[in-house]
Amino acid sequence: MGWIVLGLLAAAAIYLVMTYNGLVAMRQRVNQAFADIDVQLKQRHDLIPNLVETVKGYASHERETFDAVVKARNEALSAHGPQAQAAAEQQLSGALGRLLALSEAYPDLKASANFQQLQSELSNVEDKLAAARRFFNNAVGEFNAAIQAFPAVFFAPQMGFSPREFFDVGEQARTQLDVAPNVKF
């Protein structure tokens, strides 16, 4: 009887260690995925001043649009956490959209090789950012499911594991993202 109890305790201890290690690995995957988003956001933020300067050369009287982009970029740089960053990035996307829309009113700007290259780079970064967000949200979903599943739900909080937030663009942005962009050249 003693050996059975000892065997059950050893099995429970092994299970706890394996579960703990699995949760640690998932938490690290979430942290890495968030770091990947940060890398893409930094690239995006680094492109914006060049894009603003290029547009300024052709549309210097559009000061309000430039100021909105710069303000949104600064707010995005100072945002912390998935929800705050998602909200700030949504504001930045709106401001960038208005900046890029200026090319319709300025044919010389639209034809500028520098503007086209920056626009292409920004599009590439946006694609990578979307992929990084999907990977992060997938990692968060797996992690949250693991800590809320039976029997981990009973001991995960005591071991320091708590649910993480998704990188959510918000309801308004989601409806805008559902509409295909209209690209003209």
Q: What angle do CA 32, 33, 39 make, to 5 degrees?
A: 90
pLDDT tens digits along 22-77: 999 999 999 999 999 999 999 999 999 999 988 888 887 788 888 899 999 999 99
Which CATH number belongs to the domain containing residue 47 in this structure?
A: 1.20.1440.20
Residue 185 resides in a domain: no
Q: What is the pLDDT of residue 48?
A: 92
C-alpha pair distances (Å), 99 with each of 60, 61, 67, 110, 128: 12, 12, 10, 12, 21
pLDDT above 50: residue 156: yes
pLDDT band at 10 (very low <50, low <70, confident <90, very high): very high
- Mean pLDDT for all residues in the chain: 88
pLDDT above 60: residue 183: no
Residue 30 resides in a domain: yes
- Convert the chain into a string of H (helix), E (strand) and C (coil): CHHHHHHHHHHHHHHHHHHHHHHHHHHHHHHHHHHHHHHHHHHHHHHHHHHHHHHHHHCCCCHHHHHHHHHHHHHHHHCCCHHHHHHHHHHHHHHHHHHHHHHHHCHHHHHCHHHHHHHHHHHHHHHHHHHHHHHHHHHHHHHHHHHHCCCHHHHCHHHCCCCCCCCCCCHHHHHHHCCCCCCCC
Q: What is the pLDDT of residue 101?
A: 87
Residue 103 resides in a domain: yes
pLDDT above 60: residue 180: no
Residue 168 resides in a domain: yes
* Of the listed ranges 61-65, 130-134, 162-166, 180-184, the one predicted with least confidence: 180-184
Residue 84 resides in a domain: yes
**Which of 30, 31, 19 has its CA nearest to residue 138?**
30
Q: What is the pLDDT of residue 184?
A: 44
Q: What is the pLDDT of residue 62?
A: 83
pLDDT tens digits along 96-141: 998 888 888 888 888 888 888 989 999 999 999 999 999 999 999 9
- Domain housing 81: 2-177
pLDDT above 70: residue 177: no
Residue 107 resides in a domain: yes
Domain count across the chain = 1
Q: What is the mean pLDDT of residues 155-167?
A: 93
Residue 40 resides in a domain: yes
d(CA 67, CA 61): 11
Residue 130 resides in a domain: yes
